[in-house]
Amino acid sequence: MSSHPAIKASEITEGDSPSAPGAVRVLTGTDDSTYRERLVGLDDAHRALTYEILDSPLPVSGYRSTMRVWPIADTQGAFLTWHATFDAADGHTPQQAVTAVTEEAYAPAIAALHQTLS
């Protein structure tokens, strides 16, 4: 199960392990949309993972993202960075692509993560 509020199911469809680079998962949205993602890299030592979106309803192409968790020693907390590169899909403006990624994907995911960890 996913902790993203817009995702109701997640299934590994390729690869021997969900944490091995090359693994592909299919996410099913609460609206029955589907997303296919491939794990590109997982670096436990640097607390980082990189993935790419293969197919999705988002108006983007060439999406590749890296998430990294940075420890904050003073507070015993953590800081998350989430960096992505992508282009607007055909028929969409760059602003539509950015808005979709930041408002439909990142904002609800980060809010759910924050609530889970609070």
pLDDT above 50 for 28:
yes
Domain assignment of residue 26, yes or no: yes
pLDDT at 1: 42
Q: 82 is in which domain, residue-wise?
A: 7-117
Q: What predicted TM-score, i.e. pTM, was given to this entire model? A: 0.88
- Mean pLDDT value of segment 20-46: 96
Provide the number of structural domains found in the chain. 1
- Mean pLDDT value of segment 29-57: 97
Query: 2: which 2 tokens?
Result: 């996913």
SS3 per-residue string spanning 49-93: EEEEEEECCCCEEEEEEEEEEEEECCCCEEEEEEEEEEEECCCCC
- Domain of residue 16, CATH code: 3.30.530.20
pLDDT at 116: 82
Domain assignment of residue 87, yes or no: yes
- Mean pLDDT value of segment 18-25: 95
Task: Tell me how crowded residue 4 is: count the other CB atoms within 10 A of its CB.
Answer: 20
Which helix (H) or strand (E) covers residue 42, if one does?
strand 34-43
Domain assignment of residue 76, yes or no: yes
